[in-house]
Amino acid sequence: MAERINTKKAAVYLMAATLFSKVLGFFREILLGSRYGATYITDAYLVSLTIPLVLFSSVAAAISTTYIPIYSDISLHKGKKQAIDFTNRLLNIIVLASTIFAVLGMIFTRPIVSVIAMGFRGQALELAVKLTRMTFPMIIFIGAAHVFMGFLQSNNEFVVPALTGIPYNIFIILMLLLSDSVGIYGLVYGTVAGVAMHVVVQIPALKKKGYRYSRLLSLKDPYVKNVMLLAVPVMMGMAIQQLNALIDRMLASGLPEGSISALNFANRLNAFVYGVFSSSISVVVYPQLSKLNAEKDMDGFKKTLVNGLNIITLLLVPISVGAIVLRQPIVSVLFERGQFDERATIMTASALMFYSMGIVFYGFRDMLNRTFYSLHDTRTPMLNGIGAVVVNIVFNLILIRYMQHSGLALATSISAAVMTFLMFASLKKRLGSIGWRSVLLVFIKSVAASMIMGLVVYVLNRIAATYLDLTGRMISFIVLGLIIGAGVLVYFALIYAFRVEELGWLSGIIRNYIRTKRDQR
């Protein structure tokens, strides 16, 4: 029981930290749209982040993922000092390798950008090359930051890693506010400084957990080798997931100006929801699954997995429906200002609708990936991911002809759905029955409640648009918030009426949070 309470507390604090960071991230995106709009300058800036933030982050996250169970094993059987020595050996190898990669990237920037943004020409290409060369050093900090995140999570510190996005967003926001003086180059420098802060912000927590840096370096360390071997399939699987985004950008670079930006802004909205809710649940459940598998408690393993999947369903299905119904006012209220005009709103809202169709599958995919990792199977997610990329490419090429950038968003959602079904099939072969009836029943109830909620929200939105003057930004924001609030009440009232068991878990999170705050006083 104590473990469940601790899990709830960890989930609450992680969601709160992630929410705060994501809110800052949204403000960052709003400022980016306001200052530069859906223009070639924004497109070039986003392309410059593709290598460090889209591709290399997958590599670093894969190493961090496989690091956690190995660190725990060393700490349990050989002591914490040996585990910290292992951490330093891994850290130094990653920093050395990423430095070499950064130097090579800065030398061969032009051919790299020409592949990533094959539709860029003229000033868009030249700017993208300059900005990308400036961003390559970020990969050094990204690699180190992910090792530190793995160390902290292994020592039951989940909040500090989630806070790393706060200084990152603050630096970018500051440069956007000063954009008239520092321009796009100042924005890139601010982005690099923000990524460096990913490392700095974790240092106090690292010291508190007993970490001390040393210049240990050994390519022969068996534990480091094990991390690298296990990380390869994870790395490929994560890179494959990110490859979908890269393919979208490559194809969108040949579409009308602003297509990349519209996809980015829409995807950021989905990432906000995914990061706050789905990722927080998966991050907290993952160590539990690893522990239960190590203890050979497969009944507990299956129960924990089903609980996690059902909670993701309850959270993401209504958000998906709500985002589809309210796509236009959401984008307008959040982004439409400055250079982000009505055309940009229409393009972004269209992409948001089709990205939102797949958001629940993104959540399932993340949970199922971590499930296989906890079973020491890093190969299955990679193979299923390859199949999903093939599906994405096929549908991209088909849908882009008829739907332009919106077709790319829809293809991404279809790809996520296909991978989810492949993962479910693989898991059934591996574990047999885990309580599939419960998962399906909760999904059906959530969809039914979400459809009714969506109808209510649609009617309220039409009434507001017909009878209220929504030209003012503040009144539009308030009305949108009230409509969303009404939708939330309708949805959870229906879920309660449908007697969904996991609703008690969610309410337990809220009660535990309130109790903790009261005790702190």
Structure tokens at 154: 């292994």
Please tell me the distance from the alpha carbon of residue 279 to that of residue 274, in angstroms, as a whole number. 6
What is the sign of the dihedral through the CA atoms of 121, 122, 127 and 129? Answer: positive
Q: What is the mean pLDDT of the chain?
A: 83
31 pLDDT above the threshold of 70? yes
Structure tokens at 267: 């995807």
Predicted local distance difference test score (pLDDT) of residue 515: 57
pLDDT digits 0-9 by tens, 272-331 = 777 777 777 887 787 778 777 777 788 888 888 988 898 889 989 999 999 999 988 888
Predicted local distance difference test score (pLDDT) of residue 520: 46
Residue with tokens 């393919």: 247
Q: What is the share, in percent, of the chain residues with pLDDT greater than 90?
A: 21
97 pLDDT above the threshold of 80? yes
Length of the chain: 521
494 pLDDT above the threshold of 80? yes
80 pLDDT above the threshold of 60? yes
Predicted local distance difference test score (pLDDT) of residue 256: 78
Predicted local distance difference test score (pLDDT) of residue 514: 54
Q: Average of pLDDT values for 513-518?
A: 52
Predicted local distance difference test score (pLDDT) of residue 206: 92
Q: Which of these, 458, 486, 355, lies nearest to 409 by C-alpha position?
A: 355
Question: Which of 70-79, 406-415, 494-503 has the highest mean predicted lDDT (pLDDT)?
Answer: 406-415
Predicted local distance difference test score (pLDDT) of residue 55: 67
Q: Average of pLDDT values for 168-186?
A: 88
105 pLDDT above the threshold of 90? no
* pLDDT confidence band for 2 (50 / 70 / 90): very low
Residue with tokens 């497109």: 43
CB 71 within 8 A of CB 86: yes
DSSP structure string for 293-341: HHTT-HHHHHHHHHHHHHHHHHHHHHHHHHHHHTHHHHHHHHH-STT--
* pLDDT confidence band for 4 (50 / 70 / 90): very low
Structure tokens at 120: 């860029």
Predicted local distance difference test score (pLDDT) of residue 334: 81
pTM reported for the whole predicted model: 0.75
486 pLDDT above the threshold of 90? yes
Q: Average of pLDDT values for 137-154?
A: 89
pLDDT digits 0-9 by tens, 204-226 = 999 999 899 888 777 778 888 88
Predicted local distance difference test score (pLDDT) of residue 202: 92
Cβ neighbours of residue 126 closer than 8 Å, sequence gap 6 or more:
none
Q: Average of pLDDT values for 157-179?
A: 87
65 pLDDT above the threshold of 60? yes
Please tell me the distance from the alpha carbon of residue 406 to that of residue 311, in angstroms, as a whole number. 29
Predicted local distance difference test score (pLDDT) of residue 398: 93
Q: Average of pLDDT values for 236-240?
A: 72
353: helix, strand or coil: helix
Question: Which of 116-125, 340-349, 454-463, 507-516 has the highest mean predicted lDDT (pLDDT)?
Answer: 454-463
114 pLDDT above the threshold of 70? yes
Structure tokens at 94: 């990653």
Please tell me the distance from the alpha carbon of residue 96 to that of residue 3, in angstroms, as a whole number. 39
Q: At what angle do helices 259-273 and 327-335 cross, to 10 degrees?
A: 100
Cβ neighbours of residue 419 closer than 8 Å, sequence gap 6 or more:
361, 365, 384, 385, 387, 388
Dihedral (C-alpha) 476, 410, 244, 318: value to the nearest 10 degrees?
50
Instruction: Pick 96 or 20 by higher pLDDT.
Output: 96
